[in-house]
């Protein structure tokens, strides 16, 4: 009850603290196409001392709430590409199911380290595209044509309609499978990998990548949510403030994102990935 009781080893989460944290996770997640797991998991485990499994359960809820809350806005305004999202979900949902099966058999310290290294890699990979507002000279891909991976969105900042087309569908799909695998293993939407697959490999505009990722992460997470729920990892008093806070944050973030530049979103994305990568690797190494 009293603050004094919250000594080093007995840190436990408080409802309103989780709620506030989750609003921030929802804003950031909806802006960047992430599920908020990169905030929720470290905050719940490192700051509040929650066991990893409950943090992962909360993270799954956060991912779905961010996704559904943000994608409702992004689909309406035509920034999410539904076809690209659904087609790539073929790879991610298969990966997510494989990951959920493996989850109990991989130690959590190793999970932290893998998670950290992968995020660090993401951050470095994105540095190369820091100044690209709209991709140009995208090489044609017959498979993208066949699947109808094209579209256009109205960019509020540029004040113009931006047509786009995807390339390298198969390599992008392979990375989506890995993204799904991570989602099932770690309870994260692995939105970072989805955004990277679409931004760097498939060369879609950054906003289309984050908004489409936002739609996808909820579907991916739903594939393994049932497993986590049945296992009891989703604790109602942890998950409830996460769901409510994230929904509010995602609503706000989704209405802000459209007024930002593609390059601004990328600049926000890189440090978020880098900081979390370091955090998680340290956590994994120190046990």
CB 195 within 8 A of CB 273: no
Query: Residue 54 or 269: which CB sits closer to other proteins?
Result: 54
Query: 133 vs 115, 189, 273, 277, CA distance in Å?
Result: 28, 25, 20, 25
Return d(Cα 280, Cα 119) in angstroms, integer. 9
User: Using the rule CB under 8 A, which residue among 20, 24, 46, 86 binds other proteins?
Assistant: 86
Shortest distance in whole angstroms from residue 277 CB to other proteins: 26
Number of residues counted as binding other proteins (CB under 8 A): 69
Is position 1 an interface residue for other proteins (rule: CB under 8 A)? yes
CB atoms within 10 A of CB 231: 13
CB under 8 Å to 278, separation ≥6 — which residues?
Answer: 116, 120
Six-digit token string for 136: 């140009």
User: Using the rule CB under 8 A, which residue among 187, 218, 253, 284 binds other proteins?
Assistant: 218
Query: Residue 61 or 280: which CB sits closer to other proteins?
Result: 61
Closest CA to 175 of 203, 199, 150, 194: 194
Query: Residue 132 or 278: which CB sits closer to other proteins?
Result: 132
Shortest distance in whole angstroms from residue 39 CB to other proteins: 18
Is position 78 an interface residue for other proteins (rule: CB under 8 A)? yes
Q: How many CA atoms lie within 13 A of 121 on its CB side?
A: 10
Query: Residue 211 or 273: which CB sits closer to other proteins?
Result: 211
**Binding marks (x or -) toward other proteins, 22..61, rule CB under 8 A?**
---------------------------xxx--x------x
Query: 16 vs 23, 105, 191, 199, CA distance in Å?
Result: 11, 33, 26, 36
CB 78 within 8 A of CB 154: yes
User: Using the rule CB under 8 A, which residue among 20, 24, 46, 83 binds other proteins?
Assistant: 83
**Binding marks (x or -) toward other proteins, 130..169, rule CB under 8 A?**
-----------------xx--xx-----x-xx--------
Q: What are phi and psi of 154, to 5 degrees?
A: -90, 120
Question: With 0-12 CB in 10 A as exposed, 13-18 as middle and 19+ as buried, what is 252?
Answer: middle
Return d(Cα 145, Cα 148) in angstroms, integer. 5
Is position 179 an interface residue for other proteins (rule: CB under 8 A)? no
**Of 5-13, 167-175, 198-206, 279-287, which part binds other proteins (CB under 8 A)?**
5-13
User: Using the rule CB under 8 A, which residue among 21, 23, 56, 71 binds other proteins?
Assistant: 71
Residue list 188-217, contact with other proteins (CB under 8 A): none
Return d(Cα 162, Cα 177) in angstroms, integer. 28
Is position 170 an interface residue for other proteins (rule: CB under 8 A)? no
Q: Enumerate binding residues for other proteins (CB under 8 A).
A: 1, 5-6, 10, 12-16, 49-51, 54, 61, 64-65, 67-69, 71-73, 75-76, 78, 80, 82-83, 86-87, 89-90, 93-94, 96-97, 100, 147-148, 151-152, 158, 160-161, 218-219, 221-232, 234-241, 243-244, 247
């Amino acid at each position: 009850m009293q603050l004094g009781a919250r000594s080093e080893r007995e840190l436990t989460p408080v409802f309103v603290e989780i709620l506030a944290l989750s609003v921030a996770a929802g804003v950031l997640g909806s802006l960047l196409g992430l599920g908020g797991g990169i905030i929720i998991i470290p905050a719940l485990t490192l700051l509040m001392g929650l066991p990893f499994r409950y943090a992962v359960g909360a993270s799954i809820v956060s991912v779905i709430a961010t996704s559904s809350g943000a994608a409702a806005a992004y689909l309406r305004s035509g920034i999410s590409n539904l076809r690209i999202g659904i087609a790539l979900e073929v790879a991610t949902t298969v990966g997510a199911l494989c990951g959920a099966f493996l989850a109990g058999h991989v130690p959590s310290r190793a999970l932290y380290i893998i998670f950290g290294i992968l995020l660090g890699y993401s951050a470095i990979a994105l540095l190369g595209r820091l100044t690209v507002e709209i991709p140009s000279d995208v090489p044609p891909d017959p498979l993208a044509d066949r699947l109808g991976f094209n579209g256009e969105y109205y960019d509020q900042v540029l004040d113009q309609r931006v047509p786009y087309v995807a390339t390298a569908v198969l390599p992008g799909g392979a990375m989506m499978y890995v993204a799904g695998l991570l989602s099932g293993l770690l309870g994260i939407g692995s939105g970072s990998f989805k955004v990277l697959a679409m931004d760097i490999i498939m060369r879609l505009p950054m906003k289309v990548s984050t908004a489409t990722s936002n739609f996808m992460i909820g579907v991916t997470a739903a594939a393994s949510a049932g497993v986590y729920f049945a296992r009891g990892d989703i604790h109602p008093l942890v998950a409830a403030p996460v769901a409510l806070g994230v929904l509010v944050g995602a609503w706000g973030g989704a209405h802000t994102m459209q007024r930002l530049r593609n390059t601004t979103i990328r600049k926000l994305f890189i440090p978020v990935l880098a900081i979390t990568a370091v955090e998680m690797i340290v956590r994994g190494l120190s046990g």
